[in-house]
Structures are given as structure tokens and as C-alpha cells.
Structure 1
Amino acid sequence: MATTKKGVPAKATKAPAKTTKATARTSASKNTTATPSAAAPKSSPAKPAAKKAAPVKLTDNQVKFLQTIQAAGETGYEPKNKNEQRSIDALLTRKLLKRGSKNKETGNSRYLLTKAGAAHLPTS
């Protein structure tokens, strides 16, 4: 045994045993023959069904606003003040409206009703 400069014997370090491909194959084949159920592929549990999106809930004022936008026709609706613009932004996030072309004179965008927005309108 070798000693260090201080006279303390050096600790022996043992290198970890290396496994070769042959020993890995033999140990794996022993495991599969011992327990055949372990070698069979495990069936994964059935995946849950995809959740449907929650239906959009609109207030009475939003439904009335959708009706005024529908009444504007193909030209689209141009908001008159900031309160209307806030309502439009809320309906845009719910994808009930889409942004149309800009008015050349005022520079404001016009808004059109989508098919999803038309589905929220009462039938008359």
C-alpha cells in the first residue's frame, strides 16, 4: 500500500465494474425468461376525451351590440366612442367579430360579424 507525504496510507479506490454488451444481454434475457409478463408491453390507459370549449356567455348589452353590427351590413360597423370600442375588443377576443377595412377619412377600422357571432343572435 502506498503512503502519502504525511505518512497516512492512501485510500484504495475501486473503479466501478464495467458491463459489456454480452453481460447486459445475458442479464436481460434472464429477466425476460424468468418473468414473461414483464416482457409484454404494458397497455397505456385510455386517454380522456378532449374537453369542449365552454360556451360564450354574453350580456344583454353585448347581444344588442351584435345586432347593431349585423344591421350595419357588409360595410361594417364603425365605433363612435371609447365605450363601444371596449365592447368591440371584448367581442373580438371571443372571436364573434372580425376587423374589416379602415375608413379612409377617419382612419378607424370597421368591424364585421363572424359566423360564430351570428349564432349568438336571437332568431326572429
Structure 2
Amino acid sequence: MATTKKGAPAKASKAPAKSTKVNAGKSASKNTTATPSEAAPKSSPAKPAAKKAAPVKLTDNQVKFLQTIHAAGETGYEPKNKNEQRSIDALITRKLLKRGAKNKETGNSRYLLTKAGTAHLPTA
């Protein structure tokens, strides 16, 4: 027998017996004809179509900034000041950039373009 935390033996709990309920209002014979409201199955309300995510809208400066990060290559882009860091944070929330490895000398993170970010680069 299992014991509780205090060391007292646990009480064996019995499952409550299932009670059968007899409706007093209905007769013993089955009613074979059902009313229309009982016979019709209830239909669930129509579900709305799944919403697509809104396309990401970028300013001209953000697009230029994506180009400079793309030009940095696989080493990644290291921001030079706080204004650039704000732009980077905005692009990270839109999942167009990702944080790369830190620069060992300066301790700053480098940022890389994601596949979604490359889709926003102008062609040619």
C-alpha cells in the first residue's frame, strides 16, 4: 500500500458506482416517431477561412539597409551606431534578419539575412 508524504498509509478510494436514471415522464414503450427538431442533426456554424499573414512593408531605407547587410556576405554585418541597431531590431521582429556569432574583439553581434530577407531584395 502506498504511503503519503507524512507517512500515513493512503486510503484506497473506490470509484463511485454508476447510477442509472430512469425518466419518470416517459413511458416504458419507445417512441419511434421523432419530432423534426429532434431528428435533424445540429450543424456547426461555418468556420471562417484561415487568414494569411499580411505582407511585410518596408521603407526605402530599410531596403537599402538589407542590401548593405547582404553585401557584407557570410561574415555578417556589424552595426556601427544605435540608429542602425534600431533598424536591425525592427527587421529582426519581421524575421528578415537573424543574429549571428559575436565578434570576439568588440563583443558585438553580427547580423545575417534570412531567406525571407533575400526575397525583399530588389532583383537585378
Same fold at TM > 0.5: yes
SS in 1 for 2:100: strand
Distance 1:82 1:21, change over 3 A: same
Distance 2:106 2:24 in 1: 77
Structure 2 unmatched ranges of 5 or more: 1-19
Aligned AA (2:59): T
Task: Report the CA distance between 1:24 and its aligned residue.
Answer: 6.4
Distance 1:100 1:46, change over 3 A: same
Q: Write the mapping of 1:1-124 to structure 2, written as runs, cut at 5 A.
A: 21-23=21-23, 26=26, 33-124=33-124
TM-score (normalizing by structure 2): 0.74
Distance 1:121 1:24, change over 3 A: farther
Distance 2:48 2:24 in 1: 38
Structure 1 unmatched ranges of 5 or more: 1-19
Question: How high is the sequence identity, in percent, across the aligned residues?
Answer: 88
**Which structure has the greater CA radius of gyration?**
1
Please state which structure has a larger fraction of its residues in helix: 1
Distance 2:104 2:49 in 1: 48
Distance 1:88 1:95 in 2: 10
Distance 1:74 1:99, change over 3 A: same
Aligned AA (1:23): N
Task: Report the CA distance between 1:95 and its aligned residue.
Answer: 0.2
Aligned AA (1:95): K
Q: How many residues align?
A: 103
